[in-house]
């Protein structure tokens, strides 16, 4: 039986290792795959079909899932878009142990509740989006899939992880208005004027710097911490 095609998202180890803090969960003691219903839902929303997202908690076990020449720390996730419905790999996405805690927390609590840096959170969200787009497009083209994942990232961040592109604030602003009032003066009616302070509410909408930070992190990861063809493709 022909082995199903496995597609992966990769990080360049070196500069990326520092940026992603990949050693944070390297020595997890238990060996099992984890899943979170909310992450399943998010993955399915992105993929446009029902998918199952599982996370590893042990890097040695993670290494056992990979090819012998793979760097376990560089493979952030993988999936099998062409697996047959009868396969246990059908519509399943695997996320590595360095990203899974961040991703599962962000799925439940939102990106800002991930418990990790915004950069690592952006990478975790981007990695899930990448693998989900393999399933969505039914494609093994890493360049195309990664470009589409980057394009989709802002919408995924807002729709699934609660970070809005703009923030709206309100404030009370004083305004001086001239008020006329009628009064009797020497047995006749006259008008007098005075200044009165009136407070009114002003609503301001502006770009959300937190949203911009996540988007910039995803772009930096795409451009500077992934090898060709991951960072050289076109979404079509």
pLDDT tens-digit readout, 4-13: 666 777 776 4
3-state secondary structure of 211: helix
Q: How many CB atoms lie within 10 A of CB 14?
A: 10
What is the rounded distance in angstroms from the CA atom of residue 136 to the CA atom of residue 64?
Answer: 27
Contact predicate 147/234, CB 8 Å: yes
What is the rounded distance in angstroms from the CA atom of residue 108 to the CA atom of residue 88?
Answer: 26
pLDDT for residue 199: 85
Lowest mean pLDDT among 60-69, 180-189, 213-222: 180-189
Q: Which residues lie closer than 8 Å to 180 by C-beta, 6 or more apart?
A: 191, 192, 193
- The answer to whether the pTM exceeds 0.85 is no
Asked whether the predicted pLDDT for residue 196 surpasses 80, the reply is yes
Asked whether the predicted pLDDT for residue 90 surpasses 80, the reply is yes
Domain ranges of the chain: 7-165+208-224, 168-205
What is the rounded distance in angstroms from the CA atom of residue 170 to the CA atom of residue 224?
Answer: 39
3-state secondary structure of 42: helix
Contact predicate 80/87, CB 8 Å: yes
Q: Which residues lie closer than 8 Å to 91 by C-beta, 6 or more apart?
A: 47, 49, 50, 51, 52, 83, 135
Q: What are phi and psi of 201, to 5 degrees?
A: -95, 130
Largest CA distance in the chain: 110
Lowest mean pLDDT among 33-42, 104-113, 119-128, 188-197: 188-197
Lowest mean pLDDT among 63-67, 75-79, 163-167: 63-67
What is the rounded distance in angstroms from the CA atom of residue 207 to the CA atom of residue 77?
Answer: 32
């Amino acid at each position: 039986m022909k082995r199903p095609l496995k597609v992966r998202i990769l990080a360049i180890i070196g500069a990326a290792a520092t940026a992603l803090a990949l050693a944070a969960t390297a020595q997890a003691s238990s060996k099992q795959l984890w899943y979170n219903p909310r992450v399943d839902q998010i993955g399915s929303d992105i993929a446009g079909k029902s998918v199952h997202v599982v996370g590893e908690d042990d890097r040695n076990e993670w290494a056992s899932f990979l090819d012998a020449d793979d760097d376990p720390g560089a493979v952030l996730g993988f999936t099998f878009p062409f697996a047959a419905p009868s396969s246990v790999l059908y519509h399943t996405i695997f996320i590595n142990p360095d990203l899974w805690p961040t991703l599962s927390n962000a799925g439940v609590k939102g990106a800002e509740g991930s418990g990790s840096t915004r950069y690592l959170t952006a990478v975790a969200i981007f990695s899930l989006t990448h693998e989900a787009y393999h399933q969505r497009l039914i494609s093994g083209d890493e360049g195309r899939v990664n470009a589409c994942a980057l394009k989709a990232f802002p919408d995924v961040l807002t729709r699934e992880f609660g970070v809005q592109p703009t923030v709206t604030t309100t404030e009370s602003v004083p305004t001086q208005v001239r008020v006329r009032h009628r009064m009797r003066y020497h047995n006749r009616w006259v008008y007098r004027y005075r200044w009165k302070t009136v407070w009114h509410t002003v609503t301001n909408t502006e770009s959300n710097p937190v949203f911009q930070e996540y988007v910039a992190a995803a772009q930096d990861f795409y451009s500077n911490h992934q090898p060709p063809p991951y960072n050289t493709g076109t979404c079509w």
